[in-house]
Chains A and B, each alone.
Chain A
Amino acid sequence: MNELKKIAYNCRKATFLIEKKQIGTITLREKLELKIHLAGCSICKTFQKQSIIINSMVKNLFNSSDNSVLKLDEQFKKTLHERIEKYFKNN
C-alpha cells in the first residue's frame, strides 16, 4: 500500500490528529496528512465536527445556567452545618 493510500485509510490516526490539533500543536506534515485524509473521508469530517461541539459543551457543562440542578439533600446539609458549628464550640 502506498503512502497516500495509507493516509486515506487511517481514520484512527486522523481522529488522533483531530484531537491533538484542538488542544495542542501538530507538525506541518501531520497537518498535511490530516488535510489529505479529511478531503476524502466524510466520516472523519463528521467526527471532527462533533468533537468540536463536544469540547465546547464540556466546557459549558459546569458553567451553564442550570448548574445547580443537583442539590445535596437537606439531611446531609444539616450534618455538614452541625460539624462546622461543632468546630467552633471545640476551638
Chain B
Amino acid sequence: MPSDNNETLAIENTINPHLWVIKYADYLYNYAITRVNDEEQARDLIQDTFLAALNSMNKFEGKCSERTWLTSILKNKVIDVYRKNSVAFIKNKVIDQEEEEHDYFNHEYGNWNIEYRPKEFGIEQSDALENKEFQHILKLCMKKLPSLWLAVFTMKHMDDETTEKICKELKVSSSNFWVVIHRAKVNLRACLQKNWIQT
C-alpha cells in the first residue's frame, strides 16, 4: 500500500477538467485582467485557455499543479495578445506618444515642467503596499497606459521576465525598451499623483 504522503501528491497533480471552472476560473480571470485590462478580452482568454488545455491534456505530466499548468497556458496567451497589440501600436501610435511626452519635461533642458513636478503622495513612509485605495487607483492608472507600454511594464515588473525575452517577444529594440519603461513610469506616477492627491 502506498503511504499517505504519496497518495496526496498523486491526487494533487491529476487533472479534472470538470472542476476547472469552479476551481480556477476566477483565479485565471484575475490573472488575465491585471495584465490585459480589458474584461471582454480577459474572458476570451479564459475560454481559449480552457479549450487549449483540453486539447493538450495528454501533455500534462503532473509535475506541477493543475493551476500552475493552466496559468502557464494563459500566460502564453497573454503574451500573444501583447504581441498583436504591439504590432498595431508600432504602426499607429508611436508618434502621438512622442508628442505627449514633451509635456513632462522642459524640451530644452530636460527639467520638470512646473505642473508635472512630482509631489509627495503622503504615503511614502507608511504601509503603502497595503493601502487598498491606492492599489485601486494604481490599477486604474495602469489601464490608461498605451497597450505596448502596459505589456512591457507588466512583463518586467509583474512577471519578472528578462529584458532580452521581452524585447524578443514584443519585437522592441533594447533602447526602445528603456524608453518605454521610463515613459510608462513617468505617466503612471503622474496619473497616481493626479488621482490620489485629489481624492
Contacts and interface: CB of A to CB of B under 8 A. Distances in A.
Interface of A: 1, 6, 9-13, 15-16, 19-20, 23-24, 43-44, 46-47, 49-51, 53-62, 64, 66-72, 76-77, 80-81, 83-85, 87-88
Interface of B: 17-18, 20-22, 25-27, 29-31, 33-34, 43, 46-47, 50-51, 54, 104-106, 109-112, 117-121, 123-124, 128-129, 132, 134-135, 138-139, 142, 153-154, 156-158, 160, 163, 178, 181-182, 185-186, 188-189, 192
A23 B164 CA distance: 12
Contact of A72 (B43, B106, B111, B117): B43
B189 A54 contact: yes
A68 B26 contact: yes
Nearest to A9: B109
A81 B34 contact: no
Main secondary structure of the interface of A (DSSP, over half): helix
B124 A53 contact: yes
19 contacts: A15-B182, A15-B185, A15-B186, A19-B178, A19-B185, A20-B178, A44-B118, A50-B189, A53-B123, A53-B128, A54-B192, A57-B138, A58-B157, A59-B158, A59-B160, A61-B135, A80-B21, A80-B25, A84-B54
Contact of B110 (A13, A55, A69, A77): A13
Contact of B105 (A12, A50, A57, A62): A12
A76 B21 CA distance: 10
B135 A57 contact: yes
A88 B153 CA distance: 39
Nearest to A60: B129
B138 A58 contact: yes
A76 B26 CA distance: 11
A59 B26 contact: no
B30 A64 contact: no
B27 to A, nearest CB: 7
Contact of B30 (A20, A60, A70): A70
A13 B34 CA distance: 30
